[in-house]
């Protein structure tokens, strides 16, 4: 069996590659945009032709390569994610099992009145929109078996919080400590779906090494009704950070209040435009992007349930604090008013 893994240096791709390497099966061929440890064949997908070593005869292609930035324009998202998928499909034969990494949020609520919603057809950002398009492309243009794996926000391994890169939700962790997140925007009782990277990788590897599905299959890695509520997640983050700070002689951080989205948009957001510094305003804009992800009205329906997500968050925060001690032990800087303009 020949297996190709794209995006092998990424958060999920590196975990998938490690698990395939430990499995009693074929050693995968790995590719990523830049040379890196664990990457056998560098390939800038969409900007370079496929290297000869990657052409022909794949039993399984695991496609994890993607740009996950939420600030992508429509053109950038299409180029980074849709175009690259089509390039990868050019390596697949009629019997190749494509295991495509998507996101659970392609199935979330869509609202064209949201910020940038018209540009992205109701999806919240270019990344989310491009992943929805990719699922359609994979379903209509791939000739062979197809498995789509949909995770929510991804954090570290369940046991020890280890992850290849502190990105995505880790921005929220550092903002809570630094004081840039003076408030948390969202519904305190809303659902905050997270999944540990090892369980997402396990879903991918199980699909890659298992029998190809007779019909397209979708795996959703999520906690569903057992997922954390926003207020609980913030409490766990602050408690875990404070345990680390106490062990290192630093004062605890305060748990910030939660402001409902409607109140924030109507009353507080106009004031921040007038009175906060540019850096604080950038932080507000960044954190606002999380509100629809960390306070959903309904959770996902998982096919691969995540158990005890609170323990996963605690392990991930502890790992982040140990890996980023200057951030975890920083003295919070309160918001300061600088005046209109």
How far is 180 from 332, CA to CA, in rounded Å? 8
Strongest mean pLDDT among 45-59, 100-114, 280-294: 45-59
Tell me the average pLDDT across 162-178: 91
Helices in 47-196 by DSSP H: which ranges? 74-77, 83-89, 126-141, 170-178
How far is 224 from 236, CA to CA, in rounded Å? 19
Mean pLDDT of the chain: 90
Q: Is the dihedral of CA 170, 176, 178, 183 positive or negative?
A: positive
Asked whether residue 119 carries a pLDDT value surpassing 80, the answer given is yes
Cα Rg of the chain, angstroms:
21
Tell me the average pLDDT across 139-168: 97
Asked whether residue 34 carries a pLDDT value surpassing 90, the answer given is no
Tell me the average pLDDT across 171-184: 84
135 or 292, higher pLDDT:
135
CB burial of 309-335 (b: ≥16 within 10 Å; e: otherwise) equals bbebbbbbbbbbbeebeebbbbeeeeb
Q: Interhelix angle for 170-178 vs 309-323, to 10°? A: 60
**113: confidence class by pLDDT, cuts 50, 70, 90:** very low
Helices in the chain by DSSP H: which ranges? 11-22, 74-77, 83-89, 126-141, 170-178, 197-209, 230-247, 261-263, 269-275, 278-288, 291-294, 309-323, 325-328
Instruction: Write the DSSP symbol of residue 302.
Output: -
Centroid of chain to Cα 25: 28
**178: confidence class by pLDDT, cuts 50, 70, 90:** confident
Yes or no: say if 80 and 7 are a contact pair by the CB < 8 Å rule: no
Tell me the average pLDDT across 278-286: 71
The pLDDT score that the predictor gives to residue 258 is 86
How far is 269 from 253, CA to CA, in rounded Å? 24
**108: confidence class by pLDDT, cuts 50, 70, 90:** low
283 or 333, higher pLDDT:
333
The pLDDT score that the predictor gives to residue 339 is 56
Yes or no: say if 303 and 218 are a contact pair by the CB < 8 Å rule: yes
63 or 279, higher pLDDT:
63
Tell me the average pLDDT across 184-205: 94
Domain locations in the chain? 3-150, 157-194+226-298+307-341
Tell me the average pLDDT across 203-222: 97
Asked whether residue 338 carries a pLDDT value surpassing 90, the answer given is no
How far is 287 from 84, CA to CA, in rounded Å? 29
**8-12, 171-175, 203-207, range with the lowest pLDDT:** 171-175
294 or 129, higher pLDDT:
129
Yes or no: say if 260 and 266 are a contact pair by the CB < 8 Å rule: no
pTM to 2 decimals? 0.92
Q: Please list the helix, strand and coil fractions of the chain in percent, rounded to the nearest 5, in that order.
A: 40, 15, 45
Tell me the average pLDDT across 41-46: 94
For 70-84, write each residue's pLDDT tens digit.
Answer: 889 999 999 999 999
CATH 3.40.50.720 fits 3-150, yes or no: yes
Please give the span between the terminal C-alpha atoms of the chain, in angstroms, as a whole number: 62
Strongest mean pLDDT among 91-100, 163-172, 274-283: 91-100
Percent of the chain with pLDDT over 70: 94
The pLDDT score that the predictor gives to residue 261 is 79
Percent of the chain with pLDDT over 90: 68
Yes or no: say if 225 and 299 are a contact pair by the CB < 8 Å rule: yes
Yes or no: say if 12 and 195 are a contact pair by the CB < 8 Å rule: no
How far is 6 from 9, CA to CA, in rounded Å? 9
**115: confidence class by pLDDT, cuts 50, 70, 90:** very low
Tell me the average pLDDT across 302-323: 98
Between the alpha carbon of residue 240 and those of residues 128, 294, 329, the distances in Å are: 30, 18, 12
In the structure encoding, which two tokens stand for residue 148, read together? 């789509």
Between the alpha carbon of residue 316 and those of residues 130, 199, 229, 319, the distances in Å are: 28, 14, 17, 5
* Dihedral angle over CA of 69, 70, 71, 74, nearest 10: 100
């Amino acid at each position: 069996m020949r297996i190709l893994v794209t995006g092998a240096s990424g958060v999920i791709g590196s975990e998938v590659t490690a698990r395939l390497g430990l499995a009693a099966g074929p050693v995968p061929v790995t590719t990523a945009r830049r040379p890196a440890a664990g990457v056998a064949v560098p390939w800038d997908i969409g900007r370079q032709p496929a290297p000869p070593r990657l052409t022909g005869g794949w039993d399984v292609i695991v496609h994890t390569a993607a740009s996950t930035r939420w600030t992508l324009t429509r053109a950038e998202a299409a180029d980074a994610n849709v175009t690259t998928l089509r390039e990868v499909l050019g390596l697949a034969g009629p019997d190749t099992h494509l295991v495509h990494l998507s996101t659970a949020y392609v199935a979330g609520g869509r609202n064209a009145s949201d910020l940038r919603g018209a540009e992205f057809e109701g999806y919240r950002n270019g990344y989310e929109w491009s992943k929805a398009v990719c699922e359609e492309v994979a379903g209509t243009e791939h000739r062979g078996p197809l498995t789509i794996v949909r995770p929510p926000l991804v954090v570290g391994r369940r046991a020890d919080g280890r992850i290849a890169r502190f990105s995505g939700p880790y921005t929220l962790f550092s903002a809570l400590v630094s004081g840039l997140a003076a408030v948390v925007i969202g519904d305190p009782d809303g659902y905050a779906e997270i999944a540990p990277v090892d369980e997402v990788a396990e879903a991918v590897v199980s699909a890659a090494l298992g029998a190809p599905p007779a019909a397209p299959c979708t795996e959703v890695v999520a906690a569903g009704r057992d997922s954390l509520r926003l207020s609980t997640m913030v409490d766990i983050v602050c408690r875990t950070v404070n345990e680390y700070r106490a062990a290192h002689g630093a004062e605890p951080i305060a748990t910030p209040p939660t402001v409902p989205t409607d109140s924030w948009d109507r009353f507080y957001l106009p004031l921040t435009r007038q009175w906060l510094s540019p850096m604080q305003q950038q932080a507000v804009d960044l954190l606002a992007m999380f509100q629809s992800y960390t306070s959903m009205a309904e959770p996902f329906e998982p096919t691969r349930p995540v158990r005890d997500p609170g323990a996963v968050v605690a392990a991930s925060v502890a790992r982040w604090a140990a890996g980023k001690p200057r951030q975890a032990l920083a003295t919070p800087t309160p918001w300061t008013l600088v005046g209109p303009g």
